[in-house]
Amino acid sequence: MASPTVTPRSTDDFWADTDRHLVRYAGAGAFTPEIIARAAGSFLYTESGREILDFTSGQMSAILGHSHPDIVATVRRQVGELDHLFSGMLSRPVVDLARRLAGTLPDPLDKALLLTTGAESNEAAIRMAKLVTGKHEIVSFAKSWHGMTQAAASATYSAGRKGYGPAAPGNFALPAPHTYRPDFTTATGELDWRRQLEFGFDLIDAQSVGSLAACIVEPILSSGGVLEPPPGYFAALCEKCRERGMLLILDEAQTGLCRTGNWYAFERDGVVPDILTLSKTLGAGLPLAAVLTSAEIEQEAHDRGFLFFTTHVADPLVAAVGNTVLDVLVRDRLDVRAADLGGFLRRGLERIAQRHSVVGDIRGRGLLAGLELVVDRETKRGSDELGALVTRRCLELGLHMNIVQLPGMGGVFRIAPPLTATEDELTLGLDILDEAIGDAVARMR
């Protein structure tokens, strides 16, 4: 057997090795045809010397941009002092981060469990909810994404359900409130979300065996097409949960920690979840997640023997990074910055919509924006081809975009630049997107 080598391989060999040795993990999606050599701030740099503006913050995670100097300094220092421990041991970065996260949240969310990924945090939250309530049924939005581990995947409806055998028993889908494509409408054609919510729970009640444990939802459904439930929706959803003795779990993987212009997206609605999960933005690109809940729920879980013992629970290295993320968010007032830049971004997207009739809808909040492409504004008919053409042309012009293409929808671009982006960088991205849409439409004629 040949010894492994770190000798740089040619570009042709790199792609041959990719085909030969990597498992393809993105469904039908292909790897981006670029070799990324480094990243800094809002930009990625390829081995061939190209500069690419990153409008997705990596995997919607790098809220401070790439290689932020404060994060780099923390990693360098912490990895030389204390990186990993036996899961039953504690360190100061872990307890400090738990305390500080509690300080950013309303009462009674003052207990934290530090983990790695969003799927893992949702897995732990669902497990805790089942144990505490003594029930097992879980409700989540159709078009949801909560992760690819068993309980999280069973509560995910936007993709990845077919071909893997039975999901966890007792999972129910609640219709996702979609103001652009309403399924229940008022006399004026707007989404009648109250009637939709009633209908959804009528179906759930009919299917339930009387063991409803929790409802897990995203404040803004990102992978579902950047869908934001209308004001009042979450208060009504809370009431539905209370009536049934269910816990409400909010998954703020992408919306937490200032991206929407608030520290947490749920603040707009005046609700407080029973359990909150954080991930992507908490580590600013490094694997860090958290489950936050009340002392009462934590005590009940503990009394019942709650077990979620993982290899990297409460790791000091990433906890130190999480503390630095909080430092930068507070110091640089990135909640205010996200709100201001979000307004700037939306105005730019609205100008693009005025120039291109294929832009059907603009939605989202702060620096999480969605732009839906359609081939006909009247019928709202979408086109996979159009979305693919715009995505490819953006990359050719130096802009990385992410498009969601789900059945019954057009292509929806998820736009989530770093909170540290500048107006000039946003303008560059908007200009490229404008050009790419024009080029794609011309090609389809």
List, by residue number, the catalytic residues. Answer: 145, 218, 251, 254, 280, 414
Q: How far apart are CA 123 and CA 372, in angstroms?
A: 31
> Residues 181, 408: contact at Cβ < 8 Å?
yes
Q: E strands along 151-282, which residues?
A: 171-174, 212-217, 247-251, 275-278
Contact (CB, 8 A) for 130 and 214: yes
**Of 20, 1, 85, which Cα lies nearest the Cα of 316?**
85
CA 52, 56, 60, 64: dihedral to nearest 10 degrees?
60
Tell me how crowded residue 344 is: count the other CB atoms within 10 A of its CB. 16
> What interhelical angle do 193-207 and 233-243 show, nearest 10?
20
Which residues lie closer than 8 Å to 28 by C-beta, 6 or more apart? none
Residue 406 DSSP label: -
The DSSP result for 96-137, as a single string, is HHHHHHHHTS-TTEEEEEEES-HHHHHHHHHHHHHHHHT--E
Cα 42 to Cα 29, 68, 169, 357, distances in angstroms: 24, 10, 43, 29
- Residue 99's Cβ-side half-sphere holds a number of Cα atoms within 13 Å equal to 7
Burial-class residue 205 by CB neighbours within 10 Å (0-12, 13-18, 19+): middle
